[in-house]
Amino acid sequence: MKNVISHIMLVYMHYFVSNPPYQAVCDKYFGPDVNVMSLMQGADLWLMRVDFIFEFPRPTMPNVVYIGGFQGKPSKPLPADLEDFMQSSCEHGVVVMSLGTLLGDLGPELSEIIASAFANLPQKVVWRHIGERPTSLGNNTMLVKWLPQNDILGHPKTKLFMSHGGTNGIYEAIYHGVPILGLPLIFDQIDNFVRMKVRGAAEMVDVTTLDVESLTNTLKNILDPTKAYKEKIQKLSQLHHDKPMKPIDSALFWMEFVMRHKGASHLRTESYKLPWYAYHCLDVMAVFAACGLILMSLVWVSCRCVIRALIRATKSPAKSKKE
């Protein structure tokens, strides 16, 4: 039921929210007979930022190429001040927190809760924070306006990544084998963490019920070396790296393939050209339903005729036997 409701909402948003401005561009440059959906469905190649070590299995078309984690790359040396801070963590390591470029500030109330939880940890914390400095900030926490996320996740001192659940951050954490604590807020972030939690490589907290004690306990639970979070994410990282081609190389090959052969229509399904009733086989079901109704009607008419004949036979007067 949730999937059906979500699908209906997405269809509504497509037709009445996101599609109109794009359709206006299509009308201007391609004419009224072309729509955005037909352009998308008629694409020869789809490059999808998906890797099945993270995504759930599903059937796909031959023209879908998976390049999940294509942005992953080895880490580079950190700036001197950041490197000194990382090394000062000793054996405890460092927790890294970043909510991406769109959601840099959670507001003063949530920031105070997070700062208090970080202050309870023996680990050092690097927090990309935009906004007022929390009053409860501990001495173990460094606030920065920007951080080299890929490089710091690849640092050997990094023990945990606290993230909003953006796709880039998720795949960078998988690439470097760093467990994740999720603070999902919008879009696909909850969905991403559901997948990571199923894999045993992440936990998720709800911002609407967040408090210092629960956040502290969750952080300590993931950081506990006796737990399997680190082991599970490192297994995902091994699977992610064990491929015949890097995702970016696969993307380059298939784009050049399409250019060399002037398209790849042999990989594309033509089902999008079918009318909606044919796509959903409603015409076939209608034929079967009609045949079934005709058969049932014939049986019903036949039974009525037989029953009427029997009734007439029982009502006719008995003939006397001639001696």
Q: How far apart are CA 86 and CA 101, in angstroms?
A: 23
Question: Domain 80-241 carries which CATH code?
Answer: 3.40.50.2000
Sign of torsion, CA 98 100 104 108?
negative
Q: Kindly give the confidence (pLDDT) of every residue in the chain, 323 residues in length, as a single tens digit, with 9 standing for 90 and above.
A: 999 999 999 999 988 998 999 999 999 998 888 888 888 888 999 999 999 998 889 899 999 999 999 988 999 999 999 999 999 998 999 999 998 776 667 788 999 999 999 999 999 999 999 888 999 999 999 999 999 999 999 999 999 999 998 899 999 999 999 999 999 988 789 999 999 999 999 999 998 899 999 999 999 999 998 899 999 999 999 999 999 999 999 999 999 999 999 999 899 888 888 888 998 999 999 999 999 999 999 999 999 999 988 888 887 665 555 55
User: Pick from 228, 98, 83, 89: which is nearest to 173 by CA?
Assistant: 98
User: Pick from 236, 175, 226, 171: which is nearest to 201 by CA?
Assistant: 236
Give CA angle at 20 (15, 22), nearest 5°. Answer: 115
The model carries a pTM of 0.81
Q: In the structure encoding, which two tokens stand for residue 24, read together?
A: 């206006």
- In the chain, what are the domain boundaries? 1-42, 80-241
Burial of 92 (0-12, 13-18, 19+ CB in 10 A): middle
